[in-house]
Structure 1
Amino acid sequence: MPHELCKVFASLPLVERGVSKVLGGDPKGINFLYTNQKSVIIRNIDNPEIADIYTEHAHHVQVAQYAPSGYYIASGDISGKIRIWDTTQKEHLLKYEYQPFAGTIKDICWSGDSQKVAIVGQGKQIFVNCVRYSPDGTKFASAGTDGQIFIYDGKDGSQICALGGDRAHSGGVYAVSWSPENSMHLLSASGDKTVKLWDIEANSAVTTFNMGSDGMDQQLGCLWQKNHLLSVSLSGYINYLDKANPNKPLRVLKGHSKSIQSLTVRTCDEKHVIYSGSHDGHINDWNAQTGENDTFAGKGHTNQVSCMVVNDSNELVTCGMDDDVRFTNMIKKEYNAEDRVKMDAQPTSVAVGPGGYTVVICIGQIVLLKDKKKVFMFENLDYDPRCAAIHPGGGTVAVGGNDSIVHLYSIQENTLQKDCVITSESLEAVLAMAYSPDGANLAVCSENKVITVFGVADGYKDGSAFYGHHAKALCISWSPDNQHFATGGMDGLIFIWTLNDRNKIFKIPDAHRLYHINCIAWLDEHTLVSSSPDACVKQWTITYN
């Protein structure tokens, strides 16, 4: 039962207010790159849905740059370590590793012959944010937080001019990028929410790209590669600028820059859509085939999106650390304040069933919603509820607790009635659980690294225990074939289990290298989706032997 990574939906750059973000360019003009946490993201500049991820740094990576030859990339992290690695092979074999100093590496510059690198450390907090030589080496430009850009002679260092006179931008300038064709044009990105294209000889901005009026529209990075002009916003979005229409980018790459905490999928008219929610409250929807993605309009969650599911009314039901449960129409893709339900305690899990029922697990509470309204609540429980699942046929709610028990409730119109409990020697504190699509089985993940599957028809007796994870399993999802289910864990492993043969298991190691797996979902019987704190979404093709 082999697996193959078929698609990677890459994270955005991890940005920080008031700090420049370096975009690296492939000298062959094919790819561009940037960093997010421990990852270096390499994307095709013509088709950015094509992406590769390098994840060999043990610490957060701050900058990565191609060698002029295009055969190597140098990347530096916050520990002061620099790694030089191969770009020609999928494995990205390590060539050299150095520790030039202790502390954050802020920038890297290669010599023209690709034999040496210059490293910039943290140093003192001065005005200069960026220094870049022109491709022919005849000039170099420096940009600073004072809004100025100075052009110098590349040989003797004498100042040639100050772009724009007193100030090139009304805000700090965080990045500059030379035209790959000549040393007469320069691109600059500023906190004043503009990007400017400069004619050096005329000392004037020939084009000013207005990126918006919101604080998140500040521009922290830029890159000029082939015919593409790119900039990075404080939101993390990557903008493809249009010289013919400076007020509207040709396209904007969206996604996540922070840890993904929740994931679900939806199929409509044979079109698969992936939904993901992150630590910062951001929700993204992805076309599973093309990787094209967007966000919902309006104001949504203001904090971590902890759980999400799809109900039978074409709504994405989400709960967050802002104490909200939201019902968002997936056709309109717009948040509606009227479809928000405020919880009395922080919600951690949500489950949906037929008939408009939603069960929300909050800290110390179980809340039943009917048609987006609270109708019943259990509190002052003698256990801590962790997660819930509603039987596909409706009527039965399973709640997993920290007491190593699964509690079963029945929905009686607008109330929940406690029925019985499920116990087993293989159960410990419950972390996740799910009913199979046909409702025949309930699979439960426990803190003891064991997955236990109970048959519904025999009254949830004599559960079958599945062993394999080296650390606790955090998420579980059933295949539409009802015969296989997948789990992801703190060990970074994804296991695919066969219901009727506990020995027929398959694992995907290092699915999101250096990160645990916190979300999985099946698009179809042979396609699994995973996500993790690396802010990336991956698709896997699964073939059964």
Structure 2
Amino acid sequence: VPYRTLYLHVFASLPQMERGVAKVIGGDPKGNNFLYTNGKCVIIRNIDNPAIADIYTEHAHQVGVAKYAPSGFYIASGDASGKIRIWDTTQKEHMLKYEYTPISGKIKDIAWTEDSKRIAVVGDGREKFGAVFLWDSGSSVGELSGHSKLINSVDIRHKRPYRLAAASDDTCGSFFEGPPFKFKFTLRDHSQFVNCVRFSPDGNRFATAGADGQIFLYDGTTGESVGTLGGEKAHSGGIYAVSIWSPDSSQLISASGDKTVKLWDVGAGTAVTTFNLGSDVTDQQLGCLWQKDHLLSISLSGYINYLDKNNPNRPIRTIKGHSKSIQCLTVHKKDGRSFPRLCCFFFLSLTHVSHYWDAETGQNDCFSGKGHSNQVSKMVTNAANELVSCSMDDTLRYTKLDKKEYSASDVVKMDFQPKSVSVAGGISLAVCIGQVVLLKDKKKLFTLDNLGYEAEVGALHPSGTTAAVGGTDGKIRLYSIQGNTLKDEGKTLEAKGPITDMAYSNDGAYLAVIDEKKAITAYSVPDGYSVKNEFYGHHAKPVSLAWSPDNEHFATGGMDMMVYVWTLSDPDRRIKLADAHRLHHVSSLAWIDEHTLATTSHDASVKLWTITY
């Protein structure tokens, strides 16, 4: 049977941030892309249209840094195990060219020589904190000695004679001549951790920045001190990054924990512009990049700011999104267009934020106000144009989608932790630990206690007359909704194992159920819930399910990292999306339209797939 799947679009994750830890942003030498890391992924984004993104997922450990070769043909990325992977940028497959393990611990920074032939790597190793080697053989071309603690940053002068500088947690910088690179002397100007070192494009200067709020300038050929920026202190907080300088080497930018980025006139040693990025802790600036005409910075929140020299208090644009695991997804249609709504939580700020995305443009933002205080388990949209979400904070929330703002008055406190929520018409069904609750007008109507089984997930029939509740005992109990009550009339369906998810088709004709025994069962509602078909294919338990608007197809995602699109009338006719998110299983599924499927995962990204039958 002919069919086709096309990987249509990815809404990439933001960088994963850590308070007090600098984030390196890499720039494409051609000026088209920038790149950063999140978990085991390297994310490449178009700098003019950041909605265009690509994700590299071949590292087995958390990736700390990625840098383009000056040729632009390769990227070197380093992970927490000390492994460096050098891979192709010109092909979508990103074929691996070379792989080395130059140090035995977390890699913090990478630098290439301008001929793309030598690579310096620094970080936290057991025997040594850095190495410099030939890219095509791994042979050493010097020794990065002179430090007693981990090295945070490294850079190489991009003209001959080559020079190398490093910055360390031992409060010192170091200067090397080469190749082969030999230690010349220690730079002892900083009083706290030295977080970053960068050479100017013309090679005449290099700068170091530290947790002491100071930036020191040195001669790029001799390593001699030539001055400071901003006198005694460049920033009132620690400085985490100085960017590649302006193309003419006359200016650079610095990013600080004082929540500002500063643009410096290097010759005068003074700040030309101070960009104020906010007042919250999450507005601390931990990384920056000067790329052609673009000035970028990264906040502790993970937000990427495009800075405006003409309006330093308001970025040109701010790229928002997710930096941690996405738990659930739903689609909201407005004026005939679909908007995937995504929900996740951030351990970092303990704010559990809903983001909304435009499925066509990739534009997104987050809801304002104070939302859930713990992980969101499930969410759906109802006929009243509200987002209904349930959370481990023991609440249900009803959020107006036109306002995109959490309201304290639209919260229903539950007796027990809700696991699942379903809506139909004007009613909601919440399945909690040991309890099933029917709600209307944001109030509890009816509660079923003492269930005698462990309820896992619920689904309301679109007519609002039946509530199906699946349990860990492998049974689905059908309750009739009579007035304001749930009535158990003894109608039970048998699945193969404990229920993990289920949903009615949009027309209410079928109920699809997935279970831990890897079975998928479709029941025909008009035929007294008789079994229409059974579907098999997952190698591990399926955990998410969504019906297509055509009511003839539905998708399932499993712990085997597979996504299948099933045809209701023919179990053998299926479409397989293998390794949909490569590193993690799909956490949630939703259909934008009958040919477009959205998937989310614990890699913090969203993918859209075109399905053609």
Taking structure 1 as the reference length, the TM-score comes to 0.98
What secondary structure is seen at the aligned counterpart in 2 of 1:338?
A: helix
Q: Which of the residues 292, 295, 318 maps onto 1:226?
A: 292
Aligned partners of 1:118, 1:363: CA distance in 2, in Å? 54
The equivalent residue for 1:145 is 211
Whichever residue aligns with residue 212 of structure 2, its letter is: D
Deviation of 1:131 (Å): 1.1
Match for residue 301 of structure 1 among 372, 386, 402:
372
Whole-angstrom CA distance in 2 between matches of 1:385 and 1:463: 24
Is the 1:11–1:257 Cα contact (8 Å) retained in structure 2? Answer: yes
Query: Residue 462 of structure 1 aligns to a residue in which SS?
Result: strand
The 3-state SS of whatever aligns with 2:263 is strand
SS of 2:580's equivalent in the other structure is: coil
Structure with higher Rg: it is: 2
- The 5-angstrom pairing of residues 292-331 of structure 1 reads 292-331=363-402
* CA positional deviation for 1:143: 0.9
Match of 2:31 in 1: 29
**What TM-score, normalized by structure 2, do the two folds share?**
0.87
Farther off after superposition, 375-384 or 32-41: 375-384
Q: How does 1:195-344 map to 2 (within 5 A)?
A: 195-280=261-346, 281-344=352-415
Mapped partners of 1:404, 1:151: distance in 2: 68
Which among 435, 439, 463 is matched to residue 365 of structure 1?
Answer: 435
What is the rounded CA distance, in whole Å, between the counterparts of 2:543 and 2:203 in structure 1? 53
Per the alignment, residue 479 of structure 2 pairs with: 409
1:111-126 aligned at under 5 Å gives the runs 111-122=113-124, 123-124=149-150, 125-126=169-170
Quick check: 2:533–2:569 contact (8 Å CA) kept in 1? no
Distance 1:178 1:502 in 2: 56
Deviates more, 1:459-468 or 1:482-491: 459-468
> After the TM superposition, which residues 477-488 of structure 1 pair with which residues of structure 2 at under 5 Å, given as runs?
477-488=546-557
CA contact 2:238–2:256 (8 Å) conserved in 1:
yes
CA distance in 1, matches of 2:485, 2:302: 45
| TM-aligned CA deviation for residue 258 of structure 1 | 0.5
Question: Structure 2 counterpart of 1:116, which letter?
Answer: R
Question: Residue 458 of structure 2 corresponds to which residue in structure 1?
Answer: 388
Matched, 1:430 2:499: yes
Pairwise CA distance, 1:160: 1.2
Return the alpha-carbon distance in structure 2 between the equivalents of residues 264 and 227 of structure 1.
37
Query: Are the equivalent residues in 2 in contact too, given 1:178–1:185 (CA < 8 A)?
Result: no
Equivalent position SS for 1:16: coil
Equivalent position amino acid for 1:330 in 2: L
Asked whether the 8 Å contact 2:246–2:252 carries over to 1, the reply is no
Other-structure match for 2:242: 176
- The offset of 1:464, in angstroms, is 2.2
Report what 2:100 is aligned to: 98
Q: Report the Cα distance in structure 1 between the residues aligned to 2:196 and 2:390, rounded to whole angstroms.
A: 41
d(CA) in 1 for partners of 2:260 and 2:591?
A: 42
Residue 444 of structure 1 deviates from its aligned partner by 0.4
Whole-Å separation in 1 of the counterparts to 2:256 and 2:492:
59
Asked if 1:496 corresponds to 2:565, the answer is: yes
**Whole-angstrom CA distance in 2 between matches of 1:140 and 1:442:** 65
Q: Is the 8 A contact 2:481 2:487 kept in 1?
A: yes
Structure 1 counterpart of 2:266, one-letter code:
I
Indicate the larger mover: 229-238 or 138-147.
138-147
The aligned amino acid for 1:526 is H
Q: Identity over aligned residues, as a percent? A: 62
The equivalences for 1:71-90 within 5 A come to 71-90=73-92
The Cα of 1:244 is off from its aligned counterpart by 0.3
Q: Distance in 1 between matches of 2:235 and 2:404?
A: 36
Report Cα offsets for 1:63-107 as digits up to 9, x if no partner. 111111110001111111110000000100000111112211111
Give the distance between the partners of 2:28 and 2:492, measured in 1 at CA. Answer: 57
Report the Cα distance in structure 1 between the residues aligned to 2:313 and 2:431, rounded to whole angstroms: 45
Q: C-alpha separation between the residues in 2 aligned to 1:192 and 1:295?
A: 24
1:511 maps to amino acid: A
Structure 2: which 5+ runs fail to align?
A: 125-148, 151-168, 171-192, 347-351
For residue 594 of structure 2, what is the aligned residue in structure 1? Answer: 525
Q: Once the 2 structures are TM-superposed, how far is the Cα of residue 179 of structure 1 from its aligned partner?
A: 2.6
Stretches (4+) displaced over 2 A = 122-126, 419-424, 461-464
- Supply the distance in 1 between the matched residues of 2:359 and 2:237 (Cα, whole angstroms): 39
Distance (Å, rounded) in 2 between the aligned partners of 1:417 and 1:234: 51
Are the aligned partners of 1:405 and 1:421 in contact in 2 as well (CA < 8 Å)?
no
RMSD over equivalenced CA pairs, Å: 1.1
Q: Residue 540 of structure 1: CA displacement?
A: 0.4
Q: 2:391 & 2:199 partners in 1: Cα distance?
A: 46
The Cα offsets for residues 231-267 of structure 1, whole Å up to 9 and x where unpaired, read as 0001110000000000000000000000000100011
Q: How far did 1:419 drift?
A: 2.5
Structure 1, unaligned stretches of length 5 or more? none
Greater shift after overlay, 25-34 or 110-119?
Answer: 110-119
Contact preservation (8 Å) 1:67, 1:110: yes
Write out per-residue CA displacement over residues 388-445 of structure 1, whole angstroms, 9 at most, x where no aligned residue: 1100111101111101001111222222111234333x52100000100110100001
- Counterpart of 1:14 in structure 2 is 16
- Letter of the 1:408 counterpart: L
Within 5 Å, which residues of 2 pair with 1:498-517? 498-517=567-586
